[in-house]
Structure 1
Amino acid sequence: MTIALYHCEDVIDHAQRLDGWQQEFDQIEEGCFCGDIVDVTGRGLRLFRESANLGLSQSMHFPETQWHLVLPIHWPSEGLFPADAITVLPRCERFWSVATGRYDLLVVSIDRHRYGWLERDERRLRALEVAAPVLTAVRQQWQAMTDYLQAAQAHGGPPASLQPVFLHQLEEGVALLLGDCTRSPRLDDVCYRTRRYIVDRCQVLTRARPDDPPSLMSLCRQLKISRRTLQYSFQKETGQAPVHYLRALRLNAVRRSLLREPTQRIADAAARQGFFHLSYFGREYRRLFREPPSATLQRAQTQ
């Protein structure tokens, strides 16, 4: 059994902490990022708890050898991870989501040879209905276990003698959840998938021409939708207006570039994402990340 705990104050570092998960996170909410991960693995099961203080746009590819089930402790936004069910993540090349600030999720991964009935509609997001007392009991049990592990870290970590207890709680919880749930999962609704498609396509089109990003009217024309539909889709799926959300993605791209290539000029990194007015770029960068781009570059140069 392995137990790993991480506290990150950089969203890029936070995204890279889950072994086997290919992730890229963009910070879309203003502030200084702070995130925590508790990762417990043993006997074909993996439980991790992930929390962060700010809103993120998340692009992920999961390990394909396992099912991945989500139990939210706190998920402020609507739709994606309902509190009264288990959400089964789809088998896909890339899964995109927006996590609003102060989210707290439990995710359990199970080897795919177990619970073969989960293959039904495996390429779609699904919700498994579980009796409320069972769901609540397992969520509270796992939340208390991960709380204990975080607290124990300050005292040198939990005693090795407790590892069988953690593993038993994990196995028992999975058996309770999947033994008691319905085997006819609810699928994501058409309206929800349409909104996600619109936001996803806008991200793709913006990233395809980072030095000359399309205007909102251009996006509407290419997707054959109205400005109102565009605004509504972004507000429901990201909690932000499209201009703010898409600008945040471009600012994150500049930040990743500065951290990856600390010898470059800030003006060049900004220009590659369509920011040619440096005072405007600097102001928006500080607003989002609570530091000037020069501080990001200096930190990268000293690492």
Structure 2
Amino acid sequence: MTVALHHCEDVTDHAQRLNGWQQEYDQIEAGRFSGDIVDVTGQGVRLFRESANLGLAHSMHFPASQWHLVLPIHWPNVSLFPSNSITVLPRCEEFWSVASSHYDLLVVSIDRHRYEWLERDERRLRTLEVSTSLLANVREQWRTMTDYLQTVRGGPPTSLQRVLSHQLEEGIELLLGNCSRSPTRDGTCYRTRRYIVDRCHALTRARPDDPPSMMALCHQLKISRRTLQYSFQEETGQSPVHYLRALRLNAVRRSLLRTPTQRIADAAAQQGFFHQSYFSREYRRLFRESPSATLYRSAEAMVDGL
């Protein structure tokens, strides 16, 4: 068993800390980011707990060789990850979700050759029904386990690793041995308002230097502005203007972190920000630091890595 602990003060760094998962996170809520990951890996099984203080948009590609089961500790959007059931992530090219501030998730991954009955409707988001008390007990056991691991310097001793492995395997057997064998297909990913947000997301990223206006999005999707507003408010908790602007600001931030030798104005222009004072104000509002401060930190990190 291996245990990895990560504490990150940057959302881009946080997204890259989960080995094997290809993720891109966009900070959509203003403030200084702080996130934690506890990653426990055993033989054919993995448990990680991820939490963060700010609202994020998640885009991820997870390992196709495993089933991934989600047990939320705190996730306000219960329509995506209900607290009273186990959610099975779908086998797909890309999965996205929007997390509210102070989210806290447990995810357990198991090799696909186990519990082959999970293959039914594997390309859909599904839920497994299990008794409320059993689910609460296992979730609390894993929550306290990960709480404890965050306090252990240098990782747990070998004798304790065996106990943790046993508890992890026992929890999986209890949950999947006593849940419904007919997963409930969840329509969340396919309902109209989620489709609208997804399409707007894609259309904005397809033209980063000339992002479509709200009117253009409504015209292309053949919907009213009210429908657009309602869809974003329900799915992201934000207006379409704020959400889509945050995506573009995050793209500028990733560019500055990746290439600290570039000019800030050039990075901003690539995402359609040509008014520098407006861009700097919105960037500082979202990330609580100036673009130049981001660029400086990135340049320092590059020097330290040489």
Smaller-chain TM-score range?
A: over 0.9
Deviation at 1:190?
6.2
Counterpart-to-counterpart distance in 2, 1:12 and 1:292 = 16
Residue aligning to 1:138: 138
Match of 2:191 in 1: 193
Q: Counterparts of 1:88 and 1:59 in 2: how far apart (Å)?
A: 17
Pick the aligned partner of 1:300 from 295, 298, 301: 298
Is the Cα contact below 8 Å between 1:76 and 1:102 reproduced in 2? no
Contact 2:15 2:25 (C-alpha < 8 Å) held by counterparts: yes
Unaligned runs of 5+ residues in structure 1 are: none
Under a length normalisation based on structure 1, what TM-score does the superposition of the two structures give? Answer: 0.97
| Cα distance in 1 between the residues matched to 2:114 and 2:187 | 27
Question: What amino acid is the match of 2:215?
Answer: M
Residues 57-110 of structure 1: per-residue CA shift (max 9 Å, x gap): 010001000000000000022411000000000000000110111000000001
Contact 2:71-2:105 within 8 A present in 1 as well: yes
State the partner residue of 1:45.
45
**Fraction of identical pairs, as percent:** 78
Amino acid aligned to 2:255: S
| Contact kept in structure 2, 1:56 and 1:100, CA below 8 Å | yes
In 1, Cα distance between the equivalents of 2:205 and 2:239?
Answer: 18
Alignment of 1:150-299 (within 5 A): 150-153=150-153, 156-189=154-187, 193-299=191-297
Gapped regions of structure 2 (runs ≥ 5): 302-306
The one-letter amino acid paired with 2:248 is R
| Cα separation, 2, equivalents of 1:82 and 1:70 | 9
SS of the residue corresponding to residue 54 of structure 2 reads coil
Partner of 2:108: 108
Whether contact under 8 Å (2:9, 2:35) holds in the other structure is: yes
Tell me the number of residue pairs that the alignment of Structure 1 and Structure 2 aligns: 301
C-alpha separation in 2, matches of 1:159 and 1:284 = 47
Distance 2:41 2:114 in 1: 16
- The superposition leaves residues 36-71 of structure 1 with CA deviations (integer Å, 9 ceiling, x where unpaired) of 000111111100000000010010001000000000
1:62 paired residue number: 62
- Separation in 2 of the partners of 1:226 and 1:261? 40
Displacement of 1:158 in angstroms is: 2.2
Does the CA contact (< 8 Å) of 2:6 and 2:38 recur in 1?
yes
Partners of 1:72 and 1:114 lie apart in 2 by: 22
Shift of 1:192: 5.7
Cα deviation, residue 159, structure 1: 2.1
In structure 2, the residue matched to 1:3 is 3
Q: Report the Cα distance in structure 2 between the residues aligned to 1:246 and 1:282, rounded to whole angstroms.
A: 17
Q: Which residue of 2 aligns with 1:123?
A: 123
Which segment is superposed worse, 251-260 or 74-83?
74-83
Find the residue that maps to 1:152 and give its secondary structure: coil
Please say if residues 28 and 248 of structure 1, whose CA atoms lie closer than 8 Å, have aligned partners that are also in contact: yes
Deviation at 1:131, TM superposition (A): 0.4
* Cα RMSD after superposing both structures: 1.1
- Give the structure-2-normalised TM-score: 0.96
Whole-Å Cα distance in 2 between the matches of residues 56 and 236 of structure 1?
A: 15
> Contact 1:5–1:150 (CA<8 Å) still a contact in 2?
yes
SS in 2 for 1:47: strand
Alignment correspondent of 2:75: 75
Contact (CA 8 Å) 1:91, 1:123: kept in 2 or not? yes
Q: Is the 8 A contact 2:48 2:107 kept in 1?
A: yes
